[in-house]
Structure formats: structure tokens, C-alpha cells
Structure 1
């Protein structure tokens, strides 16, 4: 008995049973097996893993009629003879073999996932009977055209035909209304067909490294409202920077990843801000001179308003000084001319009353000034609160005079600081007007098109 042949005794010993009908699942991977004909006796077998062996055919599995899951990846199979009768099979993975044909598949009516990547298959057979097929992987096979082999597969949601020799898609996918993922990287495709609009549920599309040269070959992209991930890198139309920008304009807001780079909301907004409809690059930084003129105009308006308020304040201060001097001189004249104490007292009281009236006038002027500052749109909150702080706690008229000077000084200092802050803010705003795209994050550039 050869070391690479499997026996019934070995299987029963491994499963720790004497009942052949109780064995439903077997993992026989990586054992260098070249003969598994004994498995025909295990009629209730449902799942079988034969990866990484030396099998050249599958004739020994003919009687495993209940088999639902079969993996024969990385063997030496030249045909799939032996699987025709396995009509309950739902998953078949025969990738990385030496298969030249897939005709044996056409009778597997319950098949849902078919994976035949890395073989020597040159054409896709008719799959009309596989109504439940949802995943088809045929990448890295010398397939030149799709034809009408998929025309009746309405439930097909994933197709991978990367690194084949496909030159055109045509109307071969128009019936695949449930298609969500389509991988066609590294082929010879020159344009995406208008019929792709019928694949309304398409989420992921990879047509990188093909031969698409003009924007007209990508116009259909604007109709795919569900598209989330698009890769066209490696095509002549994508290599040209100007053309690449135009392609970005075709994309709908739903696209999250473009050319293997994730897009966030800011970059999507930047896309619309940076490109105009005349096919020429437009940058919001071109508006910088206009922004500078606007800021200068605002600055001059603020300065004129500030100067006006300072002049009004100085005029009020001078008026108060004159009134105080007048009241003092009147009091001195009354003191010299009057000899009697009663008259002196009366005149002193009159002088005091005049001082009180002057103080009342000054107090009335101050609130008005406060109200003007609050109503002025150019006055900052810091200026208003600084005035309140300085004016509180002042005793006589001399202290009030000093507080007015201090107040004016504070206002000027704070105005200068505010202007500096506003200038800085203006510069920052003009710089931030152009939203830069996020840093490049390299993820899958149309790599292996298969599902684990």
C-alpha cells in the first residue's frame, strides 16, 4: 500500500468511530495524497477539505452524493471529472490547479460559490442552470471574453476576472441586477459600457491597470449611485493629472474610497471647491488679493469709528474741566465779597450745589457713552467690561478724570491687540479656505481578486 493513498481504516481511526455513515466532515489537507477513492464509501460526507495534496482527478468522489462543501485548492488537477454528480454541492474551490476547462460545473444546479482562480481556463462555459450562484472567481485565467455565459445569473453579487485577457465587457453583465462587487483589474479594457448603468447596486468597482484612455470611457460612473469604492489607477486616463481631476468630478458623493485612498467629508467638499465647470483648475487662493482689500477696508472703517469716538470723549472731558473751573472761581469771589457768616454759608452751599450739578452732568454723560459702546458692532466685549472695571470705585472728580484717561488708554491697547488678533485670524481664514486632501493611505492597488 502506497504512503500517499488514503484508506477507510485511517479515516475511521482518526474520527474514532466504526460507523462510516456517522462521518459527515473530514479535513485531509496537507497530506500529499494522490488517491482518495476510499471516500466513496462515506455516503453521508457533507464537508471535505483536500487542500495542498497531489490529486490529479476527482473520480473517487463520484459516490459522495451528499457533499455540500469541497475544497481542492493547490493540487494537480487537470480536469474536474468526478464532480458532475455532486448536485448538492453549494461551495466548490478548485483554485491553483491546472484546469483547462470548467464544463463539468454546468450541472451543479445548487452551487452558490465557484472559485477557480489561477488555472488555465480559456473560456467561461454556460452557467444558465446555476440560478443560485452569487460568487464567481476566475481571476488569473487566460479568458479573453465574458460573452453571454452570465446572462441568466440574476443573483450573482461578486465577480472577479482580474488579470485575465478581457478586452471588453459589453452587455455581458446587464442581467446581473444584484451585482455588488466587480473586479476587472489588469485586463485590456478600453471603456466601461453604458449597460453598466443596469448594475444599480454596484458597491465596489476595480478596473485598475487597464487601457482606458478617455473620459468618455468612464461617463457611466456618474450614474452608479450606490458606488462606494472605485479604483481606476494604472489607466492612461488616471495617469494624466488634469484628466484625473475631471474623473473626480464624475464621482457621486457616495464614493468613500477612490484609487485606493479613503476620502473623508472635507476632501469631498474640497473636490467641489477646487474644480470649476470650465475644465480648468480653480483654487480659492486666487481670491487672496480681494480678501486683503476687504480686510483693509474693514480696518479703515474701524479706525475712523475709533477716532470719532475718541474725539467725542475728549470734547466731553474739556467741557467738564471748564465747568469745574467756573464753579471754583464763583465760589472764591463769593467768599471774598461776603463778610457775614450767614451769607458765607449760603454762598458755600450754593457753590456745593453747583458742584453737585456738574457731577450729575458728568454721570449722565458716562452711561450714554457706555450705551454707545454696547450698540457699536465693532466694540469687543473685552472693551466694554474693561470700562466697567475702571469706572467702579472712583471717589472725587479728580479720580474720575484719571479714570477717564486710564479708560481711554486701555481701550486703545485692547483695540490694538484685537486688531492684531483679527489680522492673524484673517490670514488663517484665507489659508484655510483651500481644504487639502488627506494624506495618501496606500491600500490594495487592484491586488488579488478573491474572497477568503
Structure 2
């Protein structure tokens, strides 16, 4: 394969496409999935032309800009883990985006996601976040993982429909603000700085992973 200095080419794209199906309008056949892991990519702007994608996988590259997603109104699943992203959701929101994996990037600030009402699963492991924010309007969010960041307190999650919350490997010292998570089933707070389990008495009967597990 020719070296392309990190730029995704049309020839490469054609080898990465799969799942031929009907477009959203039903008037034509289009490829709905694209997977291009581990290709040393730093420029995927050509994907602006692939407006019918429903699933996009670009892990293990060197991508810093995902603005191409703004041109994918039908996107449902996005995996951009193991890249060099610093911009939190740096694109216009696809209205049906449900699953996003931004783990192993370089993000530090969570901005408001009020336009992402369909988002149900969000993985932000191994970034540089120091606090949780911007999620209060994510009315479908059931799975949230922020393992191995720099978070010191549990906040910004009031009344979200979260079932599985992972805050493993942060800097949390006490269990707080989980009593409003009425649907919580699994809570992982291992590898934090918690010295007492007092606090979640009024919370739902979640499966708590204790510190050090």
C-alpha cells in the first residue's frame, strides 16, 4: 500500500466500506459501515462525502479533527478511540447518534450535549477530564464510562437514566450524588481515594465495585 502521509484516500475508503443497504430515503443502495483502524491516519476529511454512513470506526489512528461527522446525519455508532482528539464532540450532532467511544484521547473539557438526546452509550476512558458536565439533557444515556481521568467528585448526573456508571481510577474521595440515579445497576468506583462506603445508603441497589477491586 502506498504511503499517503496520514491522509485517507478514496481508494482506501473503498476497501473499508461494508454493509450495503438502502439509504434513509430508500431510493438508493449505499454502504452504511466504514472501519479503518490502525492506519496512521491524521486526515479523514474525505469522509465529508460519505453522508449515508451509520457506523464509523476509526480507532488507533492519529486523528485530531472529526468535523467530517457533521456531514453524516444518519450516523448511529462512532468509535474514535485511541486518537489525538482534544475537541469534545467537535462536530454538528447527528440526530440519531447512540454510541460514542472517545476513550484514549486528549480531551479535558466536557461541553454541553443538549442536542444529543439519542445518546445512550458514552465511553470517555483515559482522557484528561477533571469534572463531569454537559450531560443533563442526554435523556437516553444509560452507559457512561469515565475511567482513568482526573475526576475528584461525582456530579452533573442528576436524574439521568444511567444503568452502568464507571468512574474507576479517578481521584474521588467520597460517594455522593448517586441517590438521584434511580435506574443505576452497576457502579464502579474502584481505584479511587475512597476511605468509607458511607454515602450511597439512599441510592438504588447498585452493584458497587469497592476501592481496590
With the shorter chain as reference, the TM-score category is: 0.7 to 0.9
Give the number of the structure whose residues are more often helix, by fraction: 1
Q: Which residue of 2 aligns with 1:273?
A: none
1:173 is aligned, of 149, 157, 160, to: 157
Point out where structure 1 has 5 or more consecutive residues left out of the alignment.
16-22, 27-42, 235-444, 446-452
Q: 1:153 aligns with which of 138, 151, 156?
A: 138
Normalising by the residue count of structure 1, what TM-score does the alignment of the two structures yield?
0.42
1:223 to 192, 202, 213: 202
- The residue aligned with 1:186 is 169
Q: Is the 8 A contact 1:58 1:81 kept in 2?
A: no
Q: In the superposition, relative to structure 1, how do residues 9 and 58 fare at CA in structure 2: closer, same or farther (>3 Å)?
A: closer
Q: 1:185·1:209 contact (CA, 8 Å) conserved in 2?
A: yes
Residue 219 of structure 1 deviates from its aligned partner by 2.2
- 2:206 matched to 1:232? no
TM-score (norm 2): 0.85
The structure with more radius of gyration: 1
Cα distance per residue 1:309-345 (max 9 Å; x no partner): xxxxxxxxxxxxxxxxxxxxxxxxxxxxxxxxxxxxx
Q: Is the 8 A contact 1:161 1:184 kept in 2?
A: yes
**CA–CA distance in structure 1, aligned partners of residues 57 and 12 of structure 2:** 23
How many equivalent residue pairs?
203
**Residue deviations 1:130-189 (CA, integer Å, cap 9, x gap):** 101000000100101112x0011121100000100001122x11131x211000011111
Other-structure match for 2:71: 85
Q: In the alignment, is the contact (CA less than 8 A) between 1:57 and 1:82 conserved in 2?
A: no
- Residues of 1 paired with 2:111 and 2:9: CA distance? 33
1:137 to 123, 133, 145: 123
Following superposition, the deviation at residue 223 of structure 1 comes to: 2.7
Counterparts of 2:173 and 2:92, CA distance in 1: 31
Q: Secondary structure at the match of 2:199?
A: helix
1:80-132 deviation per Cα after TM superposition (whole angstroms, max 9, x unaligned) = 12211212111000000111112424522211001000010011122111101
Q: 1:25 aligns with which of 13, 19, 44?
A: 19
Q: Which has the higher contact order (CA 8 A, sep 6+)?
A: 2
* Structure 2 residues without counterparts, runs of 5 or longer: 21-28
Which moved further from structure 2: 155-164 or 82-91?
82-91
Correspondence list, 1:181-260, <5 A: 181-193=164-176, 195-215=177-197, 218-220=198-200, 222-227=201-206, 229-234=207-212
Q: Taking structure 1 as reference, are residues 7 and 161 closer, same or farther at Cα in structure 2, changes over 3 Å only?
A: closer
